[in-house]
């Protein structure tokens, strides 16, 4: 604004300083709203240089008060299936695909031992025979 005013002055068009201060105050972003209110509540008016120095001070104060915020958004691959999305708190502890794969290869799901798979488990075969299920289901 002061650069524009000095260019206008070079063309013999002077802008009164109080108008220039007013235009600068109007151009400040919304973070300076408290600063604007405090200026409007005062009886004395500032010069352009005073306004610039107070704006610099206010900007430093705003930088110190600023809190860093990070937003986390999650999406679900089950769109339209009626399943609820996981809350953000649980998103950090969600098992990745590599952890799930390791669990799948860890051993028998039926008895929990790691030296064989469910299809080779003697306890599972005995349980199926007791239930009257003779054939193993085919894997997809």
Give the pLDDT of residue 47: 87
CA gyration radius, the chain: 36
How many CB atoms sit inside 10 A of residue 20's CB?
A: 19
CA–CA separation, 59 vs 98, rounded Å?
Answer: 48
Burial of 51 (C-beta count, 10 Å sphere; 0-12/13-18/19+) = buried
Residue 70: the pLDDT is 76
The residues spanned by each domain of the chain are: 2-65, 106-135
Least confident stretch, 16-20, 99-103, 123-127, 130-134: 99-103
The pLDDT of 10-25, averaged and rounded, is: 85
Whole-angstrom Cα distance, residue 18 to residue 46?
8
pLDDT at 134: 67
Give the pLDDT band (50/70/90) at residue 20.
Answer: confident
Q: What is the pTM of this model?
A: 0.41
> Which tokens belong to 131?
């239930």
Specify the range with the lowest mean pLDDT, choosing from 1-15, 43-57, 114-128.
1-15
Tokens of 38: 């405090």
State yes or no: pLDDT of 97 exceeds 60: no
Q: Do 17 and 48 contact (CB within 8 A), yes or no?
A: yes
């Amino acid at each position: 604004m002061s650069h524009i005013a000095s260019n206008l002055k070079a063309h013999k068009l002077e802008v009164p300083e109080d108008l220039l201060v007013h235009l600068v105050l109007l151009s400040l972003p919304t973070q300076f709203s408290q600063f604007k209110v405090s200026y409007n509540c005062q009886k004395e008016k500032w010069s352009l240089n005073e306004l610039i120095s107070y704006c610099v001070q206010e900007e430093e104060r705003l930088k110190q008060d600023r809190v860093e915020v990070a937003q986390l958004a999650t999406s679900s691959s089950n769109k339209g299936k009626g399943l609820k999305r996981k809350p953000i708190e649980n998103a950090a502890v969600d098992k990745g695909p590599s952890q799930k794969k390791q669990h799948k290869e860890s051993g028998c799901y039926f008895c929990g031992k790691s030296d064989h798979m469910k299809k080779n488990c003697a306890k599972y075969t005995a349980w199926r025979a007791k239930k009257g299920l003779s054939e193993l289901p085919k894997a997809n």
